[in-house]
Amino acid sequence: MSRSAVWHPFTQHALEPALPTIVRTDGAYLESIDDRQILDAISSWWVVTHRHRHPAIVEAIRSTAEQLDQIIFAGFTHEPAVELAAALVAMAPAGLDWVFYSDSGSTSVEVALKMALGYFRHTDRPRSRVIVMEHSYHGDTIGAMSVGTRGVFNAAYEPLLFEVDTIPFPASGREQETLDAFELFTRDCNAAALIVEPLVLGAGGMRMYPARVLTELKRIAEASGTLFIADEVMTGWGRTGSLFACEQAGISPDILCTSKGLTGGAIPLAATLATDAIFQAHYAPDRSRTFFHSSSYTANPIACAAALANVRIWQDEPVMERIAALSRLQAEGAGRFAGDPRFAEVRVSGTIAAFELAVANPGYLAGIGPKLRAFFLERDLLVRPLGNVIYLLPPYCVSASELDRLHDAVDRAADLAGQAL
């Protein structure tokens, strides 16, 4: 076979072996061209919720494609988008009354940031400062990188990024430092927005913090008129144990970003939900107050139909029961490593379990990372550690025996890490 011309994401081609070719997906598995059955323990980068190729979503894509393909969404509309928007408003935290479609998690964040700045400009209270959380990651477009932690992900692009204010991550026992820092940044009432990943910081190492911190951050934001942006791209659609992570804090953000599990992981789509106040700030006979954002594929009908099918699965199937069962199994599996000196920390939030290995040089570029990934793949397990942090974030159809297999593999991988030191 000739060498592929494909440039893969987050892949150092100078170091990677030949990449497996996947020819079929089903349930919790990827089937390779050489008949390997690879257990997808990370939901193919956190997107697949119920299972690969859920029949209802596949049928929605097929039937819609027979009638509709892309339609320009400036000046036209279509039923899949209208129905999906109504469903999202009904499912999301109260007060999010408007839905703006885009194509990915990164673009949903770009939309959110532009909404926030537009809101203050059009209400004659110009604010432009954005506050972010240490170790956060919100995507790879320019605005999304700007509100993410500076480091290996964006060092080469630093000249393009705008400045932000950063509050510390609310590590256990140091939560008040985070709240105090946020209160200080907002005291002058000039901050436009705070953007956070609720409860779990994904690419930043699956770092987790309690819901009460989220509750207090929202309270401080409200007191200073700072908009609260919840990046639920990863945490939404059940990952932390509730439909949206914000629910566990009892809060409604001013803007909410969703993607990944929005279509059950079948096809790209994103949505940014906003309050009526933010919409009204852009609503005027003055055309200069238009919300100037779009992409060629905004509200693709086929993607919207897939998302609608996903919504109906949530309505018709016992999804929350599956999530509760998976969350319980993850907690039980992680419990076997309590106090284990091979791990700096073991943490669980809903369906997500993270195992932070105790190594001399931690972080995303930890030398153990590629070795761990190869170790799991040799055992037909798709696990993609974040440096020295092994995490399991499987589809909701994963069985107890499959989770046992994964936890056993984590146990053996910890031994490998110890030998590599």
Same domain for 329 and 222, yes or no, is no
- The answer to whether residue 402 sits within a structural domain is yes
Taking only the tens place, the pLDDT of each residue in 46-64 is 999 999 999 999 999 999 9
Same domain for 256 and 359, yes or no, is no
Domain membership of residue 362 as a residue range: 318-420
For the cut 80, the answer to whether the pLDDT of residue 419 exceeds it is no
Same domain for 248 and 194, yes or no, is yes
Residue 237's domain is classified under what CATH number?
Answer: 3.40.640.10
What is the model's pLDDT at position 17? 84
For the cut 70, the answer to whether the pLDDT of residue 6 exceeds it is yes
Taking only the tens place, the pLDDT of each residue in 391-400 is 999 999 999 9
Query: Which of 262, 287, 316 is the last residue before a domain boundary?
Result: 316
Same domain for 121 and 207, yes or no, is yes
Taking only the tens place, the pLDDT of each residue in 365-377 is 898 999 999 999 9
Q: Of 417 and 388, which is predicted with more confidence? A: 388
CA-based nearest residue to 27, from 326, 395, 330, 407: 395
**φ, ψ at 170 (rounded to 5°):** -75, 70
For the cut 50, the answer to whether the pLDDT of residue 116 exceeds it is yes
The alpha carbon of 270 is separated from its chain's Cα centroid by a whole number of angstroms, namely: 11
Taking only the tens place, the pLDDT of each residue in 278-318 is 999 999 999 999 999 999 999 999 999 999 999 999 999 99
**φ, ψ at 193 (rounded to 5°):** -155, 150
Residue 401's domain is classified under what CATH number?
Answer: 3.90.1150.10
Helix or strand (DSSP H, E) at 22:
strand 22-26
For the cut 70, the answer to whether the pLDDT of residue 229 exceeds it is yes
In the structure encoding, which two tokens stand for residue 98, read together? Answer: 């408007």
For the cut 90, the answer to whether the pLDDT of residue 247 exceeds it is yes
Taking only the tens place, the pLDDT of each residue in 170-213 is 999 999 999 999 999 999 999 999 999 999 999 999 999 999 99
The angle that helices 400-420 and 319-335 make with each other, rounded to 10 degrees, is 40
Query: Which of 289, 316, 343 is the last residue before a domain boundary?
Result: 316
What is the model's pLDDT at position 123? 95
Is residue 246 within 8 A of residue 281, CB to CB? The reply is no
For the cut 50, the answer to whether the pLDDT of residue 380 exceeds it is yes
What is the model's pLDDT at position 352? 98
Same domain for 228 and 371, yes or no, is no
Q: Distance between CA 256 and CA 233 in Å, rounded?
A: 9
Is residue 217 within 8 A of residue 210, CB to CB? The reply is no
Taking only the tens place, the pLDDT of each residue in 55-103 is 999 999 999 999 999 999 999 999 999 999 999 999 999 999 999 999 9
Alpha helix ranges (H) inside 336-399: 368-378
- The answer to whether residue 156 sits within a structural domain is yes
Residue with tokens 């789509």: 269
* pTM (global) more than 0.85: yes
The order of strands in the sheet holding 389-392 is 343-349, 352-357, 389-392
For the cut 50, the answer to whether the pLDDT of residue 1 exceeds it is no
Taking only the tens place, the pLDDT of each residue in 140-181 is 999 999 999 999 889 999 999 999 999 999 999 999 999 999
- The answer to whether residue 208 sits within a structural domain is yes
Taking only the tens place, the pLDDT of each residue in 10-50 is 999 999 888 999 999 999 999 999 999 999 999 999 999 99
Same domain for 108 and 201, yes or no, is yes
Same domain for 258 and 391, yes or no, is no
What is the total residue count of the chain? 421
Query: Which of 316, 336, 357 is the last residue before a domain boundary?
Result: 316
**φ, ψ at 255 (rounded to 5°):** -140, 135
Same domain for 73 and 185, yes or no, is yes
